[in-house]
């Protein structure tokens, strides 16, 4: 399993922003946005890959995994 698979990736519609917003609770704040849900998810996956690679390159411990936990618990951690 890839390290990036340890993190929940969420894409949801935002009425406030008028577009889909992608985030990875517990791993990164912010994320990505756009009009195409699948494109936002693909971009989010790339961002998560890059963030995890930076943690590893810097020798910084990765945040606790959020995938596989109850969604409400993972969102509370982020």
- The pLDDT > 90 percentage for the chain reads 74
Please indicate, yes or no, whether the overall pTM of this predicted structure exceeds 0.85: no
Mean pLDDT value across the chain: 90
DSSP 3-state assignment of 23?
A: strand
Q: In the chain, helix, strand, coil percent, each to 5?
A: 40, 25, 35
């Amino acid at each position: 399993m890839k390290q990036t698979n340890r993190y929940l990736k969420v894409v949801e519609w935002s009425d406030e922003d008028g577009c889909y917003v992608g985030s990875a609770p517990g791993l990164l704040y912010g994320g990505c946005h756009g009009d195409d849900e699948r494109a936002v998810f693909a971009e989010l996956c790339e961002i998560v890959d890059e963030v995890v690679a930076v943690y590893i390159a810097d020798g910084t411990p990765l945040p606790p995994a959020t995938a596989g936990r109850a969604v409400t618990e993972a969102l509370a951690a982020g």
